[in-house]
Structure 1
Amino acid sequence: MSILYLLSLLGALGCMVLLDRRFRLFFWRDAWRATVVGVIGLVFFVVWDLLGIALGIFARGEAPISTGVLIAPELPIEELFFLAFLCYLTMILIAGARLVLDRGRRRP
């Protein structure tokens, strides 16, 4: 049992928070809206995973870098952090692209 993968996900999430804070992209722009969007995205993907597990499409593989802690059958705890990272990354990319495009339009 190892926590290497979980620590990597937490580190990546921390980097996303730093980017978000520096450029005021998502949570630092509108915390309430960001929270709602983030929770909806996370719930959507958790339900997606649970349906995939129930249908036999998804299965947990044994990996020496994971904790081995399951929050549901075939659903490791790292999956929640991965899904949160995925949602956060998507919103940072969208907000960052808008910022870049808006700045490009303002230039003569």
Structure 2
Amino acid sequence: MDSEEFEIPGEEEPIVEMDFSLSTTDGIWLGEAKTVDSLADTPRERKREVCKLIEGCLAVSASRLIRATTQVSWAETTVQAVRNEVVGRRMARKHTPWIRLLTDAGGHAQCVLL
């Protein structure tokens, strides 16, 4: 497991920053960990953040994404933003990594598959 922060490069600037990566027989996992319960403050910013995370995964052929927080739960607006993007991409038949939202990282962690 790589525990150092790293950027996934894009054509002109990095697509996204990730906090960790893991390679398993299932494929590559990428992860981002925060201490807050939200991706961003507005619906537009939340969608942009979700898209950056997904595009970062696709850029390196990662099949799994973990978004972790130390909070006991994710804000419902964050869960909905991720769920809406995943559903929309799958309905459009776009490749989408499996996404898990992890809560209470460092405590009694719980995971939600989206």
TM-score range, shorter chain: under 0.3
Structure of greater relative contact order (alpha carbons < 8 Å, 6+ residues apart) = 1
- Which has the larger share of strand? 2
TM-score of the aligned structures, taking structure 1 as reference length: 0.25
TM-score of the aligned structures, taking structure 2 as reference length: 0.24
Rg larger in 1 or in 2? 1
